[in-house]
Amino acid sequence: MASLKFIALSGTTGATENLYVYEYGNDMIVVDCGVGFPDPEMLGVDLVIPDFSYIVKNKNKLRGILVTHGHEDHLGALPFLLKEVNAPIYATRLTAAFIEDKMADYEVKHARLSVIDPERLPAQAGDFKIKLGVFEISAFRVSHSVPDAVGLAINTPEGTMMHVPDYKFDWSSVDRKPFDVQKAVILASRGVLALASDALGSTTPGHTESESVLEERIEAVITKAKNRVFFTTISSNISRMQQAIHAAEKTGRKVAFVGRSMERKAEIARSLGYLHYSSNIEVDARAAARLPKNKVLLIISGCYGQPGSALHRVSEDDHRFLHIDPNDMVIFSADPAPPGSKMRVDYVVDRLLEKQVDVHYYDLQEDLHVSGHGSQEDIRLLFGLIKPKYFIPIGGTVRHMRAYSQLAQGLGAEPGNVFELMPGDSVEFERGVAKRGKRMPVRSILVDGLGVGDVGNIVLRDRRILSREGFVIAIMQFDSAAKALSGTPELVTRGFVFEKDSKEVLQKGVDKLIAHAKKENLNQHQLKEIAVDTLERFFFEELERRPMILPVVIEV
């Protein structure tokens, strides 16, 4: 007899890379497919994506992919997955447009997109609209920091699963479309087997503030600005953009969008009616640079300090046409510390402060950002509305899962009815009873330029050594007839010591190498090993440094 499987391939321990699988017999659906962002020690890595191996192995079962909202940690890995599988994608109108734009970037031409309409109420609890194999799905609107976000009710042969990532209860949201409690309750009214829901706010007391409270705060700060204002948030946070535009209108400023991601997201959102402003308020970014400084607000990408982003380049005086001046203002309105970003944001803030820019950022406690994730009281409210038998925390870290579990137990859940899942863990449901299932082997896949998965721990280790210690190239001649070292080796260094000032120590290294390589019947491989071993030992004893030694043998 088949059982229902819920598999958290990723998305439970790092607050990104959301990817979940529901499987029953010969049918499988995927919910969300997001990217992660590299930690500072992942040198040169652009993105981290989930391990799709299990999905690819079972791609004949895959009936569809459902995407709940437009943030990169929920949709950014889709182009990589679709290079391995071919399945229809279901998303709301705005999310589908963001996906379409991303597919164009990656030249994925076979994507099949269908738009979900979460607005219409079901006639009854069993009125599910999307049929994918044995799964029947209905979407309901939730509040989040990007419009058009949804939760999912998934009807299965074992019962109804509710999947509610990234939500809060915002009764006065910027788009005036709050969490659709009525529809969620109707869909849950026949009983819910399990709830998989957002855990990221489980350590924060109370209710999460409404997005609407920010507009007055943002306007108050902008009113004080004497020069240009640079406003930065994540490019998919359409509600925050709308608030910045309202503040610009009230303070008599023109608005320009700077950075490709910001420009494209704003264009898409406005064309679909999710972003509202008159044509005469928007100006081209180049034209904005020529306007009076007190008449401009630039909505600019780079709130997480991403190298190469528009704000990062501005802070480095490296932008093609924008230059930031003393007394210009920069407003950060985004999560102050998403995984892997804090160090980069701090760097940009420090560069701006050095330039005497008026920077409004997280350390000032001005409350210019509110979370898109429900806090403890929001989570308790969802539990009370849905009344699931089993609970699965998603979208947070280990500590968030544990806090979520304690909230559920505080409302009467049995400890064994809450499943804290690590990446690859699964839960199996059979005849209404849940148990831990088989663990799927997974690993994080690193994307570096055009390479996917070709950078692993060994490559990262080498990059860290190179970044800290530099390298030494040992160029040696090898007499193949005598089977011995010939002539005097040459040492070339980069990032280790300055050669002109370190001739003496490098010569000692050469002498050591010659002394250790005076052996008969050597082959080239043995000579390389002698060079690495001798020079590593010598430089550590002499300088307490461990540069990477790269032996080069030239046969003569």
Distance between CA atoms of 322 and 299, rounded to whole angstroms? 13
Please name which of 313, 318, 346, 316 lies closest in space to residue 332, comparing C-alpha atoms: 346
Please pick, among 51, 198, 378, 425, the residue that the annotation labels catalytic. Answer: 198
Q: Which helix (H) or strand (E) element contains residue 390? A: strand 388-394
Please pick, among 69, 207, 360, 373, the residue that the annotation labels catalytic. Answer: 373
Where are the extended beta strands (E) located within 143-290? 150-156, 159-164, 192-198, 229-232, 254-258
Q: Which helix (H) or strand (E) element contains residue 329? A: strand 329-332
Distance between CA atoms of 506 and 359, rounded to whole angstroms? 47
Distance between CA atoms of 465 and 347, rounded to whole angstroms? 22
DSSP helix/strand/coil, 336: coil
Please name which of 28, 33, 113, 85 lies closest in space to residue 62, comparing C-alpha atoms: 28
Q: Which ranges of 395-544 does DSSP label H, i.e. alpha helix?
A: 398-410, 457-469, 503-516, 524-543
Q: In what order do the strands lie in the sheet with 47-49?
A: 47-49, 445-448, 451-452
Annotated binding site: 369-373
Please name which of 166, 158, 122 lies closest in space to residue 140, comparing C-alpha atoms: 122
Distance between CA atoms of 116 and 138, rounded to whole angstroms? 9
Answer for the pair 233, 334: CB distance below 8 angstroms, yes or no: yes
Burial 325-362 (b: 16+ CB within 10 A, else e): eeebbbbbbbbbebbbbeebbbebbebbeebebbbbbb
The yes-or-no answer on residue 373 being catalytic is yes
Tally of CA atoms within 13 A in the half-sphere of 26 that contains its CB: 1
Answer for the pair 247, 215: CB distance below 8 angstroms, yes or no: yes
Structure tokens at 415: 């400890």
Annotated binding site for substrate: 369-373
Which of the residues are catalytic?
198, 373
